[in-house]
Amino acid sequence: MKIVIIHGQSHKGSTYHIAHMLAEKISSDIKEFFLPKDFGEFCVGCTKCFTESETKCPHYEKLKPLTDAMDEANVIILASPVYVFHATGAMKAFLDHYGYRWMVHSPEESMFKKQGVCISTAAGAGMKSTNKDMMDREKETLEIEFEFEGEST
Ligand SMILES: Cc1cc2nc3c(=O)[nH]c(=O)nc-3n(C[C@H](O)[C@H](O)[C@H](O)COP(=O)(O)O)c2cc1C
| CATH code at position 130 | 3.40.50.360
124 within domain boundaries:
yes
83 within domain boundaries:
yes
Instruction: Write the pLDDT tens digit of every residue in 73-118.
Output: 999 999 999 999 999 999 999 999 999 887 667 777 777 788 999 9
Please give the residue range of the domain that contains residue 53.
2-146
Q: Is the CB of 88 under 6 A from ligand 1?
A: no
Element (H, E) at 50: helix 48-51
Residues of the chain with pLDDT > 70, as a percent, come to 87
92 within domain boundaries:
yes
The pLDDT value recorded for residue 110 is: 74
123 within domain boundaries:
yes
152 within domain boundaries:
no
DSSP 75-143: EEEEEEE-BTTB--HHHHHHHHTTGGGSTTT---GGGGG-EEEEEEE-SSS-HHHHHHHHHHHHHHHH-
Q: Which amino acid is at 99?
A: G
Q: Is the CB of 13 under 6 A from ligand 1?
A: yes
Rounded distance between C-alpha atoms, residue 127 and residue 132, angstroms: 8
User: Domain count of the chain?
Assistant: 1
Instruction: Write the pLDDT tens digit of every residue in 64-82.
Output: 999 999 999 999 999 999 9
